[in-house]
Amino acid sequence: MSAAPAIPADPAPRTVLVTGAARRLGRAIALACARAGWQVAVHARVVDQDALETVAACARHTRAEGVFDADLADETAVRALLPRVAAALGPVQAVVNSAALFEWDDAASFGQALLERHLR
């Protein structure tokens, strides 16, 4: 019978980037990942109170390192996001894309331009 493989005493942390993590579904996903022991990179389009509160809530369970702000409609910002996260938290093992355009509308104001922004 062979010996069981050794389990590292301090396994490397797993890091997840959650886009749109400041509110709604993205926040719930970020908190679930934090509770499961993942280091969470909280992404938001802009740093605001909701994003900061999400970081604080995640930090109660695991390491969370500020808000990583980026406008995902800006290709330059998108290309810079993952390297910024990796520099702060180490290699990223997972990305959950939860960011979405969330613009209130109604039947009277909805039109083609708004539809295209939502689908972009």
Distance (Å, whole) CA 83 – CA 81: 6
Checking if the pLDDT of 80 tops 90, the result is: yes
Residue-level pLDDT at 11 = 72
The span from the CA of 16 to the CA of 33, in Å, is: 8
Least confident of 12-16, 35-39, 86-90, 98-102: 98-102
User: Is 33 part of a structural domain of the chain?
Assistant: yes
User: How many distinct structural domains can be found in the chain?
Assistant: 1
Among 23, 25, 7, CA closest to 67: 23
Would you place residue 64 in the very low, low, confident or very high pLDDT band (cuts 50, 70, 90)?
confident
Q: What is the pLDDT of residues 20-44, one digit of tens each?
A: 999 999 999 999 999 999 999 999 9
Sequence-ordered list of residues with C-beta below 8 angstroms from that of 98, at least 6 positions apart, any chain: 18, 19, 20, 21, 25, 26, 29
Domain containing 88 equals 15-119
In a domain, 3, yes or no: no
**For residue 115, is it within any domain?**
yes
CB 80 within 8 A of CB 70: yes
Residue 107 domain-assigned (yes or no): yes
